[in-house]
Structure 1
């Protein structure tokens, strides 16, 4: 039988088609049908979303690297000007002679040792004016200030009675005033004190045997050597002045950066602060009673009564108290964009998923297949947004950078998807979705307190919209979608 006869019989249905003519179309058609299945495409999109976490983490590492670089530059600026300042004092430090017993291999010996009593002013007033500016090095800046401080107060006439509360015999001949200053390299004037309105008496560098508390540590850490600071100033005081009580006045000019803090060293402390900085952040254990903030600067006032401090007017210690109970003014930069860019990356998975779902729904409704490679390119464009935001923020500021990066990304993805699907309407629809998404993200970043609530609501709306638009989809691809 000839090949021609065989072909005639096949066409007539007598012979089955050959393996060659059957197998190839079956394989090709089966794979194509599988890839067009909405269920399979949905799974592929989920896998791509997870895989895009890898470049997202690389961008996150880049943000952290740039933030660390900014901190290094800020440290260099602080080293030449002055770091965040904490001022605690003045206190009256009085050495106390105390008998202490010691057990040496069963033998008890008594030794005369010197311990310390710290007395606080009955009343202290501090008026501080911060002259601020933003110092730049390369593309980085740091808010710095010169604090002109005026202290006034009084130590009462009952100092000897107060010392009776502490064990030991006071040695008033060796008593001195002491003040802890976090960074003494920032002192820009002679620290002179006037006792009872008399002549100005200069302070000496150092705190002798007295310690302060380093920034970031609490009173619970004060016994640890690593938490203690010995940077400060001292001034000997005559015994006769101490016994009758005295008033004091002093001026201090102090350079610092980013943050200024004062401890309520007086039994009653009144503190006022003003600055030409429009973005203050008030922190610490005590917040201001009154404050006025304008575009030109701010003014704030604190009053800390004796009972609110929770510390007696005299304590037995060589570590100044209240170092962890501060009144603080933080010179907030208008936008700390490294932290905000890092915060945007926390929402990247949800944001990419939202965009992929939008493209997926457009694909299902339009009937034109979007290849998985095109999904990858769309996802990479969304990730490039964060790199653009970081790079532009360092030069233009966060708000302008966010607007430029969001607009460029929106136009790029919308035009690309519109071309891929062959529908200008689809591109416009995706542009609207992207624009609203970037706008909502910006609001979340601005209102961090409501970020979790907003994120939960957006997630719910997203999944609800996906369920609604895909409610009639045949996920297996066995029938045509309605």
Structure 2
């Protein structure tokens, strides 16, 4: 009887059991999600600030380039019937002669563009990647068919024909604008446009009948732009051929029409891409009257952006914050349970806050260096701090060294996942599976009944 009483007195309370300690550590992990979310908010705020600065720099240097042309514009007389009310409220009809325009797309449209990355523009802490583009255009216009538009050829004003080009980024054009029409040169002038986001360049007037050669007008011109983000075209030729060469290493081909796979090349020196779009590939006409339609939905081209910028990398790293905290606490808990060394919940809290500080160090150092260097410095600082703190807690060097190696392996594993794109999920799943296996192996030594 006396022995039973003694055993009951020696039995530890629930709050001293491994189960209770595990619950407390788990609750602490959840609590540390609060500062971790604050860090994620800081990353988002800094990222938004960079986007604002990027937009400001793009506005000054040159934004994305969208090209829609060249288009042959020929005016014609049209007669409109209007109703007129005189002073005696008598209604009469009158015929009014007005001038309208008919628009014709090219038969052949060829473009060759060379895009070169320019020196990054720096604004405060932020650098914005921009480019210069040289675009060469050539092709021809066939004899306009006014019958398809139900326009009387006798009402056509052939001597006032022009060629127009719609493009964004007019202020960033860096070349004299002249177009060769059957070996005669005509200057472009800018004019107002009711189409949103596009500016209009219109050539000097010419006499179509005098200029034409075998019912064709061959054209050729070059444009140089400062730009950023993307270069896109609308395939208005019956046959449209576009070729792009660039020293950009990570392009994103985009738009309604896919590039020819057999001619596409992307390597460490840049990329080459080609498109061929036929009239049958796109559902719009070759001629219009009165106005040129908005065909933005048929844009295609290339987007030139950094695949993963520093804030995206920081954001991806912070998403693994809960995993790092949880696994680090698990290592300490296993050491505590196996070695019977008591670790106070306050000490767990200090370790957790040190792990959260990794992300504030990471983003602050990244803004002044590369992400890789910032990650290395922040990881070393946090690992050294936790190892030194562990030595004072565990009173030996064996377990702290094991913790240091574990954290090094964990941070290295996460860095590899962040750098990967296509295989991030695969490598992450295999790594987590291996970690789970290790935890299962070491946890078998724990007496869960104590």
Please report the TM-score for the alignment, with normalisation by the length of structure 2.
0.82
**Aligned partner (choices 152, 155, 164) of residue 178 of structure 1:** 164
- The 1:462–1:251 alpha-carbon spacing in structure 2 relative to 1, beyond 3 Å, is same
Partner of 1:397: 370
Contact 1:152 1:248 survives alignment (8 Å): yes
The corresponding residue for 2:401 is 428
CA distance in 1, matches of 2:407, 2:276: 50
Consecutive unaligned residues in structure 2, runs of 5 or more = 3-8, 84-90
* 1:325-360 Cα distance to aligned partner (Å, 9 max, x none): 333333333750111111222222222212211221
Q: Distance in 1 between matches of 2:288 and 2:420?
A: 44
Please say if 1:323 is aligned against 2:296.
Answer: yes
Contact 1:78 1:257 in 2 (8 A): yes
Q: Secondary structure at the match of 1:448?
A: coil
Tell me: CA distance 1:283–1:433, structure 2 relative to 1, closer, same or farther (3 Å). Answer: farther
- In structure 1, distance between residues paired with 2:152 and 2:31: 73
* Ranges of 4+ aligned residues in structure 1 off by more than 6 Å: 98-102, 109-116
Change in 2 beyond 3 A, CA 1:306/1:413: farther
- Give secondary structure in 2 for the equivalent of 1:409: helix
For 1:88 and 1:449, the matched residues in 2 are separated by 35
Partner Cα distance (2:187, 2:273) in 1: 30
Match of 2:54 among 50, 56, 74: 74
TM-score normalised by L of structure 1: 0.77
Kept in 1: contact 2:316–2:418 (CA 8 A): yes
CA contact (8 A) 2:106 2:142 kept: yes
* Matched residue, 1:234: 202
Looking at structure 1, the residues matched to 94 and 332 of structure 2 have their Cα atoms a distance apart, in angstroms, of 85
- In structure 1, what is the Cα distance between the partners aligned to 2:265 and 2:252? 12
Specify the alignment match of 1:203 in structure 2. 188
Greater shift, 359-368 or 447-456, is seen at 447-456
Cα distance, 1:455 vs structure 2: 4.1
Gaps of 5+ in 1: 1-12, 14-25, 212-227, 478-482
Q: Do structure 1's residue 42 and structure 2's residue 10 form an aligned pair?
A: no
2:175 alignment partner in structure 1: 189
Distance apart, 1:380 and its partner CA: 1.4
- Distance in 1 (alpha carbons) for counterparts of 2:151 and 2:338: 89
Distance 1:51 1:239, change over 3 A: same
State the partner residue of 2:110. Answer: 125
Q: What is the match of residue 306 of structure 1?
A: 279
Q: Output aligned runs, 1:357-372, within 5 Å.
A: 357-372=330-345
Residues 318 and 40 of structure 1: CA distance in aligned 2, closer, same or farther (over 3 Å): farther
Change in CA separation of 1:94 and 1:369 when aligned onto 2, cut-off 3 Å: farther
Partners of 2:385 and 2:81 lie apart in 1 by 79
Q: Is the 8 A contact 1:98 1:169 kept in 2?
A: no
Counterpart CA distance in 2 for 1:463 and 1:299 is 45
The CA RMSD over aligned residues, in Å, is: 3.4
Cα separation, partners in 2 of 1:279 and 1:457, compared to 1, 3 Å: closer
Query: Shift of residue 85 of structure 1?
Result: 1.5
Quick one: distance in 2 between partners of 1:52 and 1:101?
A: 76
Q: Tell me the distance in 1 between the aligned counterparts of 2:99 and 2:404.
A: 76
1:253 aligns with 2:224: yes
| Equivalence for 1:417 | 390
3-state DSSP of counterpart to 2:368: helix
**In 2 relative to 1, CA 202–440 (structure 1 residues): closer, same or farther, beyond 3 Å?**
same
Shift of 1:428: 2.2
The match for 1:155 among 141, 151, 155 is 141
User: For the Cα contact (< 8 Å) 1:95–1:116, is it kept in 2?
Assistant: yes
Distance 2:357 2:217 in 1: 67
Q: 2:327 aligns with which of 328, 344, 354?
A: 354
Q: Deviations over 1:8-29 (max 9, x none)?
A: xxxxx9xxxxxxxxxxxx8xx9
Q: How far did residue 167 of structure 1 move? A: 5.8
Shift in Å, 1:152: 0.4
C-alpha displacement at 1:448, in angstroms? 3.2
- Give the structure 1 partner of residue 257 of structure 2: 286
Contact 2:362 2:375 in 1 (8 A): yes
Contact 2:182–2:212, Cα closer than 8 Å, also in 1: no
Q: Structure 1 residues 115 and 427, CA, compared in 2 at 3 Å: closer, same or farther?
A: farther
